[in-house]
Every structure is written in structure tokens, then in C-alpha cells.
Amino acid sequence: PVMEKINTNIVTLTRFLTEEQIKHKEATGDFTLLCHALQFSFKSIAYYIRRATLVNLTGLAGSSNTTGDDQKKLDVISNDLFIEAMRSSGKVALLVSEEEENVIYFKDAKNARYAVACDPIDGSSNLDAGVSVGTIFAVHKLADDSTGAHGDILKPGTELVAAGFTMYGASAQLVITMKGGTVNGFTLDNGLGEFILTHPDMRIPKKRAIYSVNEGNSLFWEDNVKNYFESLKQAPEGGKPYSARYIGSMVADAYRTLLYGGIFAYPADKKSPKGKLRILYECAPMAMVFENAGGQAVDSNMNRMLEVVPEHIHDKAGIFMGSYDEVEKVKAFHKK
Ligand code: P6P
């Protein structure tokens, strides 16, 4: 029998990071080691999620996180795994987690030059239903004169050195982008235990008739938001209305929007005047991915999301992100 043609040019995340480091002559290797700690945490979380239903890890853990919603066991495990991976890397000076009310400082990480923000399991309320959840991460580099104080992470997304997310679906899909770089997608090969480059240089389609928003909030939307979404449901000059696709797990909705195009939105509204999604570890990292893939991301006041500076680590923002032309349409409705 003819052996299937084997692709021997397999680019693992490890090889990709090494090649990236070589491109930057001034690199010390610290960022590479930090990314290895990140990838280890995604592999570990993927492992526990896969086993979750088997060992009943999806039940409530009894404790509750800063936002008061019930904390599922996987939230706790994933958060602990992530914190430990960042601590043991020795490269992270401070960490913000959705699950932690306060900043975590790694005092014994001598000359650590990075600050990380993360949502260890975003969308966890969907876990029992088998809906894809994910880890969202954002990496800031401390300013040369910084002492590792919490202000070091209250920076605009334009200063992020890396950001991305890992979606735990049929397989673990990692999407990562670096400052001024492209967006690259990796798929975890459980046999090899390696993330393999499967989606090099991801580009979001310039437009696509798909909108992704929780219409259950439409009673609370501002008029320009209502008018915008209503306009998508018309069939102009024999055109077709948009399709609605909403999973309710940001990482899953973001991944589909990145691949297929369209618009994802969680607008600020009368119920949540500041929006629901968090700037540091949901809006900003996603905005960096979407911009580097050729799309756009803006807040509810049509400010470029990457220029929004949070005052507090858990600050929220309204967000519209997706295909370049689709965000232009949102802006058009906010001019009127
Ligand atoms: P809603 C999940 O709880 C989450 O934080 C995001 O993953 C998701 O996009 C959003 O909230 C869903 O919120 O109000 O539509 O259930």
C-alpha cells in the first residue's frame, strides 16, 4: 500500500517561538520561556476539560469569584494551574486573573519583565452544556523604569507584546498574535502533546453577513444600537438579511467570527452601562487579534478598543469587533 504523503514540515508552537526569537536579535529568551509556560497551561487546562465530565469536574465548587457568579471546579483548577505556570516561569512580575479580585505579585521573580492578564476559563457557565470555552491571555512588557506595580498592567492594548486565546472545543485551538505580527492558529495534537501550526497568517474576511449578539438585551440597547441591528435584518434591493449566530461563549463566537467574518458585539446598554466584557483579559486581547487579522474592534463610543485604558483591573467596556467593513457599518450608525 502507498504510504499517505506525510507532511514532514511540521511547525510546532515550540519551533515557531524559536524562529520568532531568532528574528529578534535583542531577544533575551525571556518571552520565549513565558510562552512555553503559557502553552503548558493551555495543555493542562485542555486535559482537565476533556476529563471534566468523566470526573464530574463541572459541578459547582461552592466558592464564588469576584463577580459573584458560582465558581465551577474547572474554574478553580484552571485558575490555579495558570497562576502556577506563570509563577514557575520566573518571567512574570504580576498577574491579573478574572478569578482573582486583586493583582497577584510574584515577588520572588527577580528581574521578571512581563505582566499577564488572563481569563482562565471564559464562558465557563456553558461548561456543563459541552459548549466550547477558552482561556484568553494578554502579555504586557514592563516599562524599563517600572517596579512591578499594578499600574504596569493598566495600559492600552496598543502596548501589548502578545495576546490570544485557546478554545477548548473538539480539539484545543490556540490563536496567538504578537506586536506588529500576524495571527497564527495552532491545533493541539494530543498524541504528540504539541500545538501544530494549522492556520498560518489568519486574515478575517473583509465582510460577512453574520451578526453575533445577545438579542435578549435589546430592550436595554441605545437607539443607535437597535437601529444598527434592525438594519442588518432588512433585505436591501433584493439583498439578503444577515444570519444570527450567538454561542454565548466569547472565545467560540470570536473564533467563528475570525474564520468566517461578520460582527460580534456585546454593547454597553442601560442594564450594563459599562458593558459586560472586561477590558484587560477579554476586550483588549481579542481586539489585538482582530486588528492583526485585518479586522477592527471598537468600544461603545466607537473608540478604537486598543486605545482604551482601564482605570481598574476588572473594568468593563462595550465592544463591537469583526470584519473591517462590518465595524465601519457600526460606526455609520453611531454618527447619526
Ligand atoms: P451573555 C460568558 O459568561 C461571557 O463572559 C463571554 O464568554 C460571553 O461572550 C458573554 O459572557 C455572554 O454573555 O449575557 O450573552 O450570556
Q: What is the DSSP letter of 12?
A: B
Collect all residues with Cβ–Cβ distance below 8 Å to 85 and sequence separation of at least 6. Answer: 37, 38, 40, 41, 44
Position 228 confidence tier, pLDDT thresholds 50, 70, 90: very high
Ligand 1 nearest-atom number relative to CA 214: 15
Other C-beta atoms lying within 10 Å of the C-beta of residue 214: 14
**Res 216 pLDDT > 90:** yes
Residue nearest to atom 4 of ligand 1 (CA): 123
How many angstroms is it from 241 CA to the middle of ligand 1? 25
Whether residue 218 has its Cβ less than 6 Å from ligand 1? no
Q: What percent of the chain stands above pLDDT 70?
A: 93
pLDDT band at 259 (very low <50, low <70, confident <90, very high): very high
Q: How far apart are CA 108 and CA 95, in angstroms?
A: 13
Please tell me the distance between residue 39's alpha carbon and the centre of ligand 1 in angstroms. Answer: 24
248 C-alpha to ligand 1 centroid (Å): 5
Strand (E) positions, the chain?
A: 60-64, 70-72, 92-97, 104-105, 114-122, 133-141, 162-168, 172-178, 183-189, 194-199, 210-212, 243-244, 263-266, 277-278, 296-298, 316-317, 319-322
Burial class (CB in 10 A: 0-12, 13-18, 19+), 142: buried
Q: Assess whether pLDDT exceeds 70 at residue 125.
A: yes
What angle, 0 to 180 degrees and rounded to 10, lies between the N-to-C axes of helices 30-52 and 13-23?
Answer: 160
How many A from CA of 285 to the centre of ligand 1? 16
Q: Assess contact for 124 and 75: CB atoms under 8 A.
A: yes
Tens of pLDDT, residues 66-124: 665 555 588 899 999 999 999 999 999 999 999 999 999 999 998 899 999 999 999 98
